[in-house]
Chains A and B, each alone.
Chain A
Amino acid sequence: MKQQDLVIDALDSRAQRRTDRRALFTAALGVAAVGSAFAYSDPARAQSAATDLDVLNFALNLEYLEAQFYLFAVNGAGLAATQTASGAGAAGGVVTGGAKVDFSGDTLVGAYAAEIAADEAAHVAFLRKALGSAAVGMPNINISGEADGPFTAAARAAGVVGPTGTFNPYADPNSFLLGAFIFEDVGVTAYKGAAPLLTNKTFLEAAAGILAVEAYHAAIVRTTLYAKGIPALVDATEQIAAARNALDGKPTEDLIRGIAPDDDEGIRATGSGATLTSNIVPLNANGLAYSRTTGQVLNIVYLNAGTTTMGGFFPNGVNGNIRSTT
């Protein structure tokens, strides 16, 4: 099946979400975290008790994806082979697609792209250093802007382009911003959902620090898109947010932890004139950023609302122990 069909099926079918089990998992994590080790006696619950190394490797997969996208956009080339090999020395996977963006007509966006690319490369390097020999190699990654690539599949399913249209994030600076928009908020919610899983205090503090940086990035992208004053761009962000929302299911709301059935927002402002209010920052009613589980994050990057271990930007799935959407 083509990527496009998979995504459309996924969005249309709205597969039954195992919200009760997810709530059980998260509740088990909460109980376990305050000292009760007995939650792990249940194998079903134990599945969600990932180790610190598992969580960091999960994050590393996402950083590989972001770094490759931004580095190609800025330089026309990606991470060095030494930065994608596993910590044990096995060669990393291949990148399909990626191209240098012509930022000459928008040097501001070019400057932002260069800064973000450097940060993501630094995140890859940091996580690899922290994981040492346990670092997973980069899996195969698809960041192609072609008609059969994941950006097009996502854009068609979201309605950003028509059913036979192509979305190429490398075509121009505005398309690049939309491509970046696909990733950055997801990165924030991924780190936020994963941070409480970490037991090592140093790792936790580092994860909090990367969480903050992903939020800075997301704000740069969202603010820049909004400030351009182009309604089609704003509309596209709303469509992409709706698509991500549809992919990642509808967990039960928890206003303190930032879990919500609707956990994604575009940048459409509300009000007008003296009441015009932007929506740069996607937060819940308590002013808290949203959390996604690792499964929800994979729903999005695999472009599949169902149960799977591969697809979309990771055609063969991510590497490591956390690799399934459920």
Chain B
Amino acid sequence: MIDHRKALDILAAADARRAARRQFLKVAGGGTLALGSASLLSGCFDSEGDDQPSPTPTPTPTPAAVTDSDILNLALNLEYLEAQFYLYAVNGTGLSASMIASGSGTAGGTVTGGAKVDFSNDALVGAYAREIAADEAAHVAFLRTALGSAAIAMPNINISGDANGAFTAAARAAGVVGPNDTFNPYSSPENFLLGAFIFEDVGVTAYKGAAPLLTSKVFLEAAAGILAAEAYHAGLVRTVLYAKGIATPALVTAAGRISDARDTLDQGSDTDEGLVKGTAANLVPTDADGIAYSRNSAQVHNIVYLNATGANRNGGGFFPNGTNNPNATLRVGLP
């Protein structure tokens, strides 16, 4: 006998998901609401008492509906970035040309910067770097396979450790280095860890925000699998930084400043946390319910574009020409 309640639940869930996608698009078009009803509430009632004014989204023409393919391509851009950073750090080279071309054969973009890190004095961090690099390369390969001909090409990426590179820009803005100093994540294992720290928590919040929007249960489970992987990575990096921070408190200070900078860039409520809360260890960034935070596409882009003023809304920072996506709303940061 058919359980009609169950069938209605499924249809209702699909309706709710479509409604959430419409909301997601309104956000992407010009607002700061977060994905999902729980996040909407948390945006209004910040537990720390910082009142969030009600967002007033700018009216926009109805954008194209977000598809599962669009969401996976959103993820693929971030995986390209992470994979290139870790592969260069470990090997001195990045993804092969065949792994960055679009699914229909258009050549991928260029990588500016990237260099092999000397891990000879820190065997453990080298071991972690190799493991994470392999995982991120596997994520790129998996998403490309899942997307097939719909896979976007890798956009131009900047992972340079030079004075005019994305890492220096991020570090200066965060106050990790002085306004005229350089931050090179390839110059030492510690700097490499801070560079990794920039990405990993962002990846977790991005997948947490996007995965529930997938309509395919199979892809949802796969996205949950990548979410878990990124959380393992973030936990690994945070644990190592915190432990090293006993002898080198500057690492913990730097991580805290990077976290604050991300919180500023994403314009949302306090969804990013450093490695300590007061004097207590804080290796797991969670809300009061012990749940990881979410970010929507625009918030994630604001971070990776280093879009502090709106000038980088369509590209900048780690993606100097923006990310790639058939859906324009999934390529932009916040106004």
Which residues of A lie under 8 Å from residue B221 when comparing CB positions?
A: 192, 195-196, 256-258, 291
Which residues of A lie under 8 Å from residue B130 when comparing CB positions?
A: 271, 275-278
Beta-carbon contact of B239 and A223 below 8 Å: yes
| Number of inter-chain CB pairs below 8 Å | 259
Inter-chain CA distance A122–B289, complex, in Å, is 5
Most chain A beta-carbon neighbours within 10 Å: one of B10, B37, B146: B10
Which residues of A lie under 8 Å from residue B240 when comparing CB positions?
A: 223, 227
Which residues of A lie under 8 Å from residue B123 when comparing CB positions?
A: 273, 276
* Residues 1-20 of chain B, each 1 if its beta carbon lies under 8 Å from chain A, else 0: 11110110111111011001
Chain A contact residue count (CB 8 A cutoff): 79
Which residues of A lie under 8 Å from residue B283 when comparing CB positions?
A: 112, 115, 216, 220
Most chain A beta-carbon neighbours within 10 Å: one of B4, B141, B212: B212
Beta-carbon contact of B3 and A212 below 8 Å: no
Beta-carbon contact of B217 and A256 below 8 Å: no
Beta-carbon contact of B38 and A211 below 8 Å: no
Beta-carbon contact of A287 and B138 below 8 Å: yes
* Residues 193-227 of chain B, each 1 if its beta carbon lies under 8 Å from chain A, else 0: 00000000000100110011001111111101111
Beta-carbon contact of B38 and A205 below 8 Å: yes
Query: Which partner residue on chain A sits nearest B7 by CB separation?
Result: A37
Beta-carbon contact of A219 and B289 below 8 Å: no
Q: Is B302 an interface residue (CB 8 A)?
A: no
Smallest beta-carbon distance B146→chain A, Å? 7
The one of A126, A219, A224 in contact with B231, judged by C-beta atoms closer than 8 angstroms, is A219
Inter-chain CA distance A121–B289, complex, in Å, is 9
Q: A108-B246, A192-B225 are in contact. Are A123 and B290 (CB under 8 A)?
A: yes
Inter-chain CA distance A112–B137, complex, in Å, is 30
Secondary structure type dominating chain B contacts: helix
Q: Is A286 an interface residue (CB 8 A)?
A: yes
Inter-chain CA distance A197–B142, complex, in Å, is 23
Beta-carbon contact of B38 and A126 below 8 Å: no
Secondary structure type dominating chain A contacts: helix
Most chain B beta-carbon neighbours within 10 Å: one of A223, A224, A279: A223
* Residues 255-278 of chain A, each 1 if its beta carbon lies under 8 Å from chain B, else 0: 011100000000001010111111
Inter-chain CA distance A226–B124, complex, in Å, is 9
Smallest beta-carbon distance A36→chain B, Å? 9
Q: A278-B124, A280-B131, A289-B228 are in contact. Are A201 and B16 (CB under 8 A)?
A: yes
Beta-carbon contact of B290 and A126 below 8 Å: yes
Beta-carbon contact of B142 and A288 below 8 Å: yes
Beta-carbon contact of A205 and B212 below 8 Å: yes
Which residues of B lie under 8 Å from residue A216 when comparing CB positions?
A: 231-232, 234-235, 238, 283-284, 292
Q: Is A55 an interface residue (CB 8 A)?
A: no
Chain A residues proximal to chain B, CB less than 8 Å: 29-30, 32-35, 37-38, 40-41, 46, 49, 108, 111-112, 114-116, 118-123, 125-126, 129, 188, 191-192, 195-196, 199-202, 204-206, 208-213, 215-220, 222-224, 226-227, 256-258, 269, 271, 273-281, 283-291
A-B contacts besides A224-B239, A280-B236, 7 pairs, CB < 8 Å: A215-B228, A220-B235, A256-B219, A276-B126, A278-B131, A283-B229, A287-B139
Interchain Cβ contacts under 8 Å between A and B, 27 examples = A34-B216, A37-B2, A37-B3, A37-B4, A37-B10, A108-B243, A108-B246, A115-B282, A116-B284, A125-B289, A192-B221, A196-B220, A199-B9, A200-B13, A201-B17, A205-B39, A206-B289, A211-B227, A212-B227, A216-B231, A218-B232, A256-B219, A277-B130, A279-B131, A281-B233, A286-B225, A288-B229
Chain B residues proximal to chain A, CB less than 8 Å: 1-4, 6-7, 9-14, 16-17, 20, 35-39, 123-124, 126-128, 130-132, 134-139, 141-142, 146, 204, 207-208, 211-212, 215-222, 224-236, 238-240, 243, 246, 280-284, 286-294
